Every structure is written in C-alpha cells, then in structure tokens.
Structure 1
C-alpha cells in the first residue's frame, strides 16, 4: 500500500447511476442554468454536481465516485481536502485571516519556504510579492513590474499560450475564441511560435531543426523592420498548459533567455499551471538551465485550493515603491497557512520524487495505449502534467477533436474526469493530484482503454458505412 493511499476516498471509480449525470445532478445542473450566469463552463462538458472530494476522488450528489485527473484545473496538487495541510489552515483561521500586507509570522514563513525551494545558488537573489488572489492577478503584476523597470510597454507572447482572463492576461492569451468579441485589449502584444515540435510551424523535424522558433524571435528582436518595438519582456509558460501540456525541446528555454537578455529584455516565466511541483520540481524551469527574471505563481500555491497568487522576482528587477501594486485580498492568511502546510507536506513525503515516478508510470501506460491505437498521435509530459494528442491520421497529424469529445464522455461514464485542451481542442490533459497512487493510475488506464475501444469501434464503423 502506498503512503498516499489513506489520503483518498478510494482507489477505484464507482458508478452507481445508470448514466452520468444522475437524477440529483440533473436537478442541480438545471437549477444552476436558471440562476447562475451563462459563463459557467466546466459543467457543460463534465455534467456533475459535486458533493465531496478527498484525494484524487470526487463524489457527486448521486453517490458516483470519479477519478479526478483534473485536480481543480491544477489547484489541488496535494489532493482534495488533504487533512495534514488543512490542519495548518484551521489553526490559522482561529487566529487571523485578513491582514492586508502587514507582516505576520505566517506570511514571512511562507515567503521563506518559497525562496528556500529555489535552486540554492539563486535563493538570495529573489524576492516575493503578493497581489490579487488569482493567476491573472499575478500576470498583471508581472507585466506592471516589467514595464516600470524597463520603461517600455511592448510584450512578446507565444502561440498556444494561456495566461488568464483579465485585460492584460487575456492580451497574452493566443486563443482567438476568447478574444473575437473583445475589440480592445492591452496594446503592443506580439505573438511568436512556441517550441511545439509535434506540430512545428516551420514544418521541420526535431532531429534536423536548429530551433527555428528561436531564430524567428531573434529576427523579431534584431530586424528593424520586424514591426515590433523593443519589448519590455517576453512571457512564456515553461510547459504550455491549455495549449496542450507541451514540453518544449531541450535547450529551448535556455536559448530563449540568453537571446532575451542579450537584448536587455526581461523574461517572465508563467508557472501558474506548471508550478508547485506539478513537473516534479518546485517550478518547471528548474529542470533546465534557464533562469527567469520574474516568475508568476498561483493555483497549487494555496495548498488545499485556497486562492493565492504572487510573483517571485530578481532583486535587481525591483523598480516599484510602496502602493505601486496592491490588492485587498493579497496574501490572505488562511491561504498562506495552506502554503506553509503544503511545503511541509511536500518535504515530509518527498512528493517531488513521487511525482516524477508516478508521471513516468502513467506515461508508459499511455504509450502502450498509443501503440495499439490508430488515433493517439503523441504522448508527452513532465511529471504529472501530461498531454495525449488525438489525430485522424498519425502521418498527416490532422487533429481529431471530435474523438476527444467522445472519449472524454466515455471515460466520464466509467468514472474518470479530465480536461481537454490543445491548439485544436484535440488533447487530453491529465493533471491528477500529485499524491496519486499506482492503483489509481492503473484504474484510470483501464477506464481509458475501455473508452478508447468504444470510440475507435465507432469511428471505424462509420468509415466502413461510408465506404
């Protein structure tokens, strides 16, 4: 039995209703539709009403139990309702919850733990600031600091990038589906290609490519007729999340940072999704030799799903003064207690090593499915941030979002939930809690195998009928 087994409601799915959603979930979903705004999104593709959750198991109001490979969009990295982390929060709530930016032992301890988990040689070179409670707030703070520091306002972002929904963060988000009806966003944002070797925009093979995507950025920065004024910063995810859990090729981030710094351009690493040990290291860039100037953090930082966001930045980037960036709920004390508890839990149970082993185990299982499937084109990931890309043909790589939609539903009916993303909505994004156990992974792989067989039979049957 794994040391983490007791942190979960169970280690297998349990479906007790004839179909999903069950009767009570249908009632609550209908009520939600009547009284809550139409921006609600997740229940449209995962139609359940949640009663409780523990570890990697979500139980709906009908008593169905699902394997959660979504983790609240990567927020509950240490599992739902982790009792050891919750103990820190409960103790803090009895003393103090709201303290603006006054110093408390609780907050200063959390900052010290953040810095202590950076590479040893860099720990004394960074500071931490908290702003609003969401990832988008962290992005806005990073942009503001970069612009104040450099006196410039142009920003370079990347195709496939997702950074949030506030005005500045959305300006950096490449998905035009979020932007088509917004006529004005933050100006002077320019997009360049990300290192997405499976779908290289330059039609090159990784083995023969000398990182044309970096050369493209070099041209943008050095060609006086590129149309792009000298930027304040580039903003990049060390592992793209919503873009399809894309891990850039080895050496890419180092080359990018070197190029940016050669042109006196700051580098902002968005670690909101890839951070807090999701990759097997505290921050995903720590797998590389690249060193950023500013890092945005949120999601898993709150420990048990409590809202918290901030930026970690080099001391030599410090360029703002008192009140230059504020937020009423910055550094909420309950959330910071969750941070303290989460770091202690990670260190106590060596979660980073477990994440690497569990991720490797899951990827190996997925690659077995890929070998026996005509429609899984790519399996990729680092730690427990994994993408499975579906295509109509492995040679042409034509995206197959329709199959992914069918596959997600078949998995849900059998007790497994996850998010879908990618440049073409054709990528299964697997981000389970980091305390996932091997039996839970095995159960998820069994569900995916059964769902895949159903989906492939349906696709092949349609093709036979057409022929």
Structure 2
C-alpha cells in the first residue's frame, strides 16, 4: 500500500447512476440557482452537490465518488480533510481564533517555517506579512508596497495572467471577460507578452528563439517612446495558472529579474497557485536562480483549504510603517495553525520529492495519450500543475474549446473532475492534490483515455454518416 493511500476516501471513482448529476444533486443545484446569486460558476460546468471529501476523492450527495484533479482551484495541496493537518486546527480552535496582528507562538512559527523553506542563501534577506484571507489581498499588498517603495505608479503585467478579483488584482488580470460592465479599474497597468512558446506572438520556435518576449519588455523599459512610464513593479506568475498552466522557457525568469533590477524596477512573483510545493519546490521560482523582491502566497499555504494570504519581501524594500496596510482577518489563528500543520506534513513525508515522482508518472501517461489522440496539441507544466492544450489539428494549432468542453463532460460522467482555462478556454488544467497515489493517477488516465476514445469514435461515426 502506498504511504498516502489512507489519506483518501478511496483510490478509484464510483459512479452509481447513468448520468451526472443525480437526483439529490439536481435538487440542491436547483435550490442554489433559486436562492444564491448568479455569480456562482463552478457548478455550471461541474454539476454536482458535494457531501464530503477526503484526499483526492469527492463524494456527492447521491453517493457517487469522483477523482478530484481540481483541488479547490489549487488550494487543497494536501488533499481534502487531511487529518494530520486538521489536528493542528482542532488544537488551535480551543485556544485562540482571532488575534489581529498581535504576536502569538502560532503565527511566528508559521513565519519562521515560511522563511526556513526559502533557499538557504536568501532566508535572512526576507520578511513576511500576513495580509488577509485571499490571494487578491496579497496582490493588493504587494502592489501597494512596491508603489510606496519606488514612489512610482505604473505596473507591468502579462498576457494570460490572473491575479484576483479585487480592484488592483483585476486590473492586473488580462482576461477582459472579467471586466465586462466595469468602465474603469486601477490605471497605469500595461501588459506585455508572457513566454507562451506554444503560441509565440513573435512566431518563433523554442529551439531558435532568443527570448523575443524579453526583448520586447526591454524595449518597453528602455525606449522613451514605448508609451510606458518607468514602472514601480513587474508582476508575473512563475508558472501561469488560469492562462493555461504555462511554464516559461528556461532562463526567462532570471533574465527578467536582471533586466528589471537594471532599471530599478521591483519584481513580484505571484506564487499564489504555483507555490506551496505544487511545482515540486516550496516556491516555483526556486527551480532556478531568479530572486524576486516580493512573493505573494495563499491557496496551498492553508494546507487543506483554510484561507490565509501573505507576502514575502526583501528586507531592503521595507517602506511602510505601522497600520499602512491592515485587514481584520490578516492572520487568522486557525488558518495559521493549518499552515503550521501543512509545513510539518510536507517535511515529514518529503512532499516535494513525492510531487516530482507523481509528476513524472502523470506526465508519462499523458504523453502516451498525446501520441494516440491528435486533439492533444501540447502537454506542459511543472510538478503537479499540468496543462493539456486541445487543438483541432496540430499543424494549424487552431484552439478547440468545444473539444475540451466535451472532454470534461465525458470525464465527469466517468468520475474525474478538473478545470478548464487558457487563452481560448481550450486547456485542460490538472492541479490534483499533491498526495495523489499511482493508483489514483492510473484511474484518472484510464478515464481520460476512455473519454478521448469515445470522442474519437463519435467524430469518426459522424464523418462517415456525413
């Protein structure tokens, strides 16, 4: 038995009915539609009502069990209801829950663990501030600190980037669909191309590209006629999430930091989704030598879904005083206890190494599927943050969002849940709990293979009939 097997409800899906959603799920979905606001989104594409979950398995109210390769939008890095992390929570709940920013052993321990997991050469160079319960709070704080430190207002962000839904975070998010009906947001945000090699805007190939996207950024910073004032900061995800689980070309992050620092511009790495061991390192930038000025963290930091967010920043950019950034729930003691438990769990079970092992195993299976099914144009990512880009054919690389939509539904009916993203909503985004086992991966690959085969057969039959 695998060391993580007991942390899951089971290791295979269990579908008891002919079609999802079942009767009880439909009842609750209908009630939700009637009484809850229309901004509800996930159940529209994953129509289930959840009863309980453990590890990487979700059970709906009809008794069906699904493999969860969504992990609460990359939050549940240690799985649903991990009892070892919850033991820290249960102890803390009996002692103290809300303490604003007063010092507690619990909070200071969490800060020390964050710093202790940075590269050894950098640990003494950074400080930590908890700023609120969500990733958007961390982004707001990071931008505020950068502006205060530099005295400048402009910020450079990236196409495909997602940073949150609050005013500044949304202004930094490139998906214009999120801005419908909003006439204005925070000003002085400028976007440049992310190193999305599969769809390079400069029409280059990875083996011959001299990082033209970085040269474009250099022009923006150095050409007085670029139209972009000298920025306070550049913000980007070391691995893009909502943009399609895109990993930059090797050396890009290091070159970007060097370029930014040459022009006295601060660099913010948004590690809200790709952090907390999802990439196989505590933070994704740690796979290379880039050292940002500010790092935003949230999501997986709460271990099993407890809301906590913070920024890790270089001591030499400390620029704000007492009360310059506040928030009632910045450092909830229960969430911080969960973070302490999550770090201890990660160290106890060598989570980073396990993530890389499961990554290699899952990548191998996905590339086998790619060889068999041409609809998969690219398999990419790092650690357990993987994207499958669906295309209508591999020559034109025309996006196939409808194919992804059909694929997701086929997988759901068989017992596998995941989210979709990408510039054209044509990317299958796989972000499972990091404690998945080979048996769970095998079951997920089996579902994906069967779903792709059914889609291929359906297309062939339609073509023949036509």
Deviations 1:66-119 (A, max 9, x none): 000000001110000000000000000000000000000000000000000000
In 1, Cα distance between equivalents of 2:247 and 2:223: 28
CA distance in 1 between counterparts of 2:324 and 2:33 reads 40
Q: 1:27-85 deviations in whole A, cap 9, x for unaligned?
A: 00000000000000000000000000000000000000000000000111000000000
For the residue of structure 1 that corresponds to 2:228, the secondary structure is coil
The SS at the match of 2:147 is helix
What does residue range 194-273 of structure 1 map to in structure 2 within 5 Å?
194-273=194-273
Residue equivalent to 1:52: 52
Aligned to 2:12: 12
| Count of paired positions | 466
2:81 counterpart residue number: 81
Unaligned runs of 5+ in 1: none
Any idea what SS the aligned residue of 1:230 has? Answer: coil
Cα deviation, 1:111-147, whole Å, max 9, x if unaligned, reads: 0000000000000000000112100000000000000
Shift of the alpha carbon at 1:455? 1.4
CA distance in 1, matches of 2:174, 2:61: 37
1:21 corresponds to: 21
SS in 2 for 1:9: coil
Aligned-residue offset at 1:179: 1.4
| Cross-structure match for 2:113 | 113
Specify the alignment match of 2:454 in structure 1: 454
Q: Distance in 2 between matches of 1:146 and 1:464?
A: 60
> In the aligned structure 1, how far is the partner of 2:379 from the partner of 2:37?
36
Match of 2:437 in 1: 437
Provide the secondary structure at the position in 2 that maps to 1:91: helix
SS in 2 for 1:38: coil
Partners of 1:75 and 1:42 lie apart in 2 by 15
| Deviation of 1:457 (Å) | 2.1
Q: CA deviation at 1:465?
A: 4.3
1:57-136, aligned counterparts within 5 Å?
57-136=57-136
What is the alpha-carbon distance in structure 1 between the residues aligned to residue 460 and residue 244 of structure 2?
26
Deviation at 1:461, TM superposition (A): 3.3
* Residue 142 in structure 1 maps to residue 142 in structure 2: yes
Deviations 1:1-35 (A, max 9, x none): 11000000000000011210000000000000000
Establish whether residue 151 from structure 1 lines up as the match of residue 138 from structure 2.
no
1:410 equivalenced with 2:407 (yes/no): no
Alpha-carbon distance between aligned partners in 2 of 1:59 and 1:385, rounded to the nearest angstrom = 23
Q: Deviations over 1:166-186 (max 9, x none)?
A: 000000000011113211000
2 CA distance for matches of 1:440 and 1:99?
Answer: 40
In 1, the alpha carbon distance for the partners of 2:195 and 2:231 equals 20
String of CA shifts for 1:188-221, please: whole Å, max 9, x gaps. 0000000110110100111111000000000000
SS of the counterpart of 2:63? coil
Query: In structure 1, how many angstroms separate the alpha carbons of the residues matched to 2:398 and 2:195?
Result: 19
Q: Distance in 1 between matches of 2:312 and 2:6?
A: 34
Residue aligned with 1:118, SS? coil
What is the CA-CA distance between 1:458 and the residue it aligns to?
Answer: 2.3
Q: How far is 1:460 from its partner?
A: 3.2
1:395 corresponding residue in structure 2: 395
Does structure 1 residue 192 correspond to structure 2 residue 192?
A: yes
Matched, 1:325 2:325: yes
2: CA distance, partners of 1:26 / 1:463 = 34
Supply the distance in 2 between the matched residues of 1:349 and 1:280 (Cα, whole angstroms).
Answer: 13
Q: Match of 2:410, SS? A: helix
Q: CA deviation at 1:337?
A: 0.2
With over 3 angstroms needed to count, the CA separation of the structure-2 counterparts of 1:60 and 1:142, relative to structure 1, is same
SS in 1 for 2:347: helix
Q: Which residue number corresponds to residue 357 of structure 1?
A: 357
C-alpha distance in structure 1 between counterparts of 2:268 and 2:433, whole Å: 26
**TM-score between both structures, scaled by the size of structure 2:** 0.99
Distance 2:43 2:326 in 1: 33
Match of 1:311 in 2: 311
Deviations 1:278-331 (A, max 9, x none): 000000000011100000000011111010000000000100000000000010
Structure 1 residue 459 displacement after superposition: 2.8
Inter-partner Cα distance in structure 1 for 2:207 and 2:418: 32
C-alpha distance in structure 2 between counterparts of 1:14 and 1:394, whole Å: 34
Give the Å deviation of 1:462: 3.4
CA offsets, 1:387-426, max 9 Å, x none?
Answer: 0000001011000000000000000000000000001000
C-alpha distance in 2, partners of 1:463/1:357?
A: 41
